[in-house]
């Protein structure tokens, strides 16, 4: 690469060719000259690894439907627990995974996080070949797939540093969508694979792909020196007490918690409410719709503002879930499927718009404290905002994933107590209504600041 005198190209460091010392994506000339190309290359291979992480994370969501074929008989409650534990572990893993790129380098940890996926795949093969294994051991084996859930946090935290603050909506949406699609790919491709080769193939098929992803990350990704000082555990602890982190965590439960909770539960819900329908033929549609909608949510947020898109989206989510409840009551499979797919689409749009909001919130808050006419002050404020937002994203993504556990347990309790999922759905519709009010009150409602009526949405949130 040829260095430019006033906006140098990414420079290598003595730590190795994979490390980049100079990286300034907010400099328009730097971005146009070399930044965009390097960022896009890292994004592609980040998506690949995150995609496989989600694929492995969701293994048990499809496997539980076929366990009887290998001699494992479970109750509906046990089945839901077997899909809940991976979600819970995946949520917990997002905290350390958020720090890992800053500690070890984004490229380095992408390689490691890919190779760790071999553990749940190998244990899955063992479990299927030993159908007499006790239920507690099945739970522990299923828990290891949570390693795939952690990949999302490390991938998003890493890619955030590659893109300008004003252009993060779409690439973060693409990165997340590429990962989320692993959910539907698992649910779509596994049933025919199981028919052809047996349930054990679900574990074997991902292993060579994981090795390919690790090699590609090693060869084609980069570590950013600036990201290794991104934030500390103390900053994350402080972020956990930040009012904005708490609010966005609740909203992200509503969007990503819903996406992952529904994705894990969809097959079980179809089987329990419409036993004559072959759920394996439809289970993948929901996650696919939600994944493909995520970049749309990021794009809409870039265009109309994350807060506005998020509020309208929660309103539609509430209506959609109410229609799903009506479909269950009427025993209408067509209405159930159509309404649930609409809900999945809204989870994707909401995921994209809320992720756009997070860095925008902290950037608006920092910029409000400095002189906008002072470029150096603006640059320092932007750097502080990146650090704060990166720490907050780790917490928010973990809480959001944990919210999926609450949704799965709501369905389990509803089925065990009432025999159906109607009460759980109506409770969720009420929760989405609360999210509508919360988004409006915190980000769209105008308040007086220095004698001027304004809102965070008007500041770019």
For the segment 222-244, what is each residue's pLDDT rounded down to a tens digit?
999 877 655 566 767 777 788 99
In the predicted model, what is the mean pLDDT of residues 319-332? Answer: 95
pTM for the whole thing?
Answer: 0.81
What secondary structure letter does DSSP report for 454?
E
What digits encode the pLDDT tens for the residues 114-151?
Answer: 999 999 999 999 999 998 999 999 999 999 999 998 99
Write down the pLDDT at residue 448.
67
Query: Does domain 12-459 fall into CATH 3.30.870.10?
Result: no
Residue range 194-218: mean pLDDT, rounded:
94
Residue 26, SS3?
A: coil
H or E segment to which residue 185 belongs: helix 169-197
Q: How many residues appear in the chain?
A: 461
Contact 438, 445 (CB under 8 A): no
Residue 74: how many other CB atoms lie within 10 Å: 15
DSSP 8-class letter at 17 = E
Q: Are 328 and 425 in contact (CB under 8 A)?
A: yes
* 94-118 pLDDT per residue, tens: 888 988 888 889 999 999 999 999 9
> How distant is the alpha carbon of residue 85 from its chain centre?
17
What pLDDT does 228 receive? Answer: 63
Q: Which of 229, 273, 236 is nearest to 105 (CA)?
A: 229
The span from the CA of 183 to the CA of 152, in Å, is: 12
- 154: pLDDT strictly greater than 50: yes
Residue 384 near residue 359, CB atoms below 8 Å: no
Cβ 252 vs Cβ 259: under 8 Å: no
pLDDT digits (tens, 9 = 90+) for 288-297: 999 899 889 9
CA distance 158 to 136: 35
- Rounded mean pLDDT of the chain? 87
pLDDT of residue 259 exceeding 80, the answer is: yes
Q: Which residue has the higher pLDDT, 6 or 449?
A: 449
Taking Cα atoms as reference points, which of 25, 22, 27 lies closest to residue 10?
A: 22
Strand partners, 449: 452
Helix ranges, 274-374 (H): 283-304, 306-330, 333-367
CB 181 within 8 A of CB 344: no
Calculate helix-pair angle for 422-439, 243-252, nearest 10 degrees. 140
Domain ranges within the chain, ordered by starting residue: 12-459
Tell me which DSSP letter residue 441 carries: I
Pairwise CA distance, residues 369 & 358, whole Å? 18
């Amino acid at each position: 690469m040829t260095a430019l005198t006033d906006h140098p190209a990414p420079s290598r460091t003595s730590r190795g060719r994979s490390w980049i010392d100079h990286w300034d994506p907010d400099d328009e000339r730097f971005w146009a000259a070399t930044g965009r190309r390097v960022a896009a290359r890292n994004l592609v291979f980040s998506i690949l690894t995150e995609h496989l992480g989600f694929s492995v994370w969701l293994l048990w969501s499809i496997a539980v439907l076929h366990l009887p074929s290998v001699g494992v008989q479970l109750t509906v409650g046990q089945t839901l627990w077997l899909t809940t534990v991976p979600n819970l572990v995946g949520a917990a893993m997002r905290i350390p995974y958020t720090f890992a790129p800053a500690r070890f380098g984004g490229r380095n940890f992408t390689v490691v996080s890919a190779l760790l996926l071999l553990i749940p795949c190998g244990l899955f093969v063992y479990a299927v070949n030993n159908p007499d294994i006790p239920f507690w051991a099945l739970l522990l084996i299923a828990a290891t797939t949570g390693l795939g859930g952690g990949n999302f946090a490390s991938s998003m935290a890493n890619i955030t540093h590659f893109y300008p603050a004003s252009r993060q909506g779409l690439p973060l949406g693409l990165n997340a969508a590429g990962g989320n699609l692993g959910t539907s790919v698992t649910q779509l491709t596994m049933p025919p694979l199981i028919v052809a080769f047996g349930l054990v193939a679900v574990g074997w098929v991902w292993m060579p792909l994981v090795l390919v992803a690790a090699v590609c990350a090693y060869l084609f990704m980069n570590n950013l020196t600036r990201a290794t000082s991104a934030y500390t555990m103390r900053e994350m602890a402080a972020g956990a007490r930040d009012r904005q982190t708490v609010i966005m965590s609740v909203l992200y439960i509503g969007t990503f918690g819903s996406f992952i909770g529904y994705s894990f539960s969809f097959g079980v819900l179809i089987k329990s409410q419409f036993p004559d329908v072959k759920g394996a033929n439809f289970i993948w549609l929901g996650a696919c719709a939600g994944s493909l909608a995520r970049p749309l949510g990021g794009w809409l947020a870039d265009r109309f503002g994350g807060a506005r898109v998020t509020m309208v989206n929660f309103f539609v989510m509430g209506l959609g879930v109410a229609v799903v409840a009506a479909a269950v009551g009427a025993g209408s499979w067509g209405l159930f499927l159509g309404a649930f797919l609409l809900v999945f689409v809204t989870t994707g749009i909401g995921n994209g718009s809320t992720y756009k909001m997070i860095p925008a919130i902290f950037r608006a808050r920092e910029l409000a404290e400095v002189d906008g006419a002072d470029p150096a002050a603006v640059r320092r404020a932007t750097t502080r905002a990146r650090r704060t937002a990166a720490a907050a994203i780790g917490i928010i993504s973990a809480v959001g994933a944990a919210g999926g556990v609450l949704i799965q347990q709501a369905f389990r309790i509803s089925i065990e107590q009432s025999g159906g999922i109607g009460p759980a759905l109506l409770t969720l519709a009420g929760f989405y209504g609360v999210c509508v009010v919360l988004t409006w009150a915190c980000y769209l409602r105008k308040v007086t600041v220095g004698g001027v009526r304004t809102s965070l949405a008007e500041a770019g949130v």
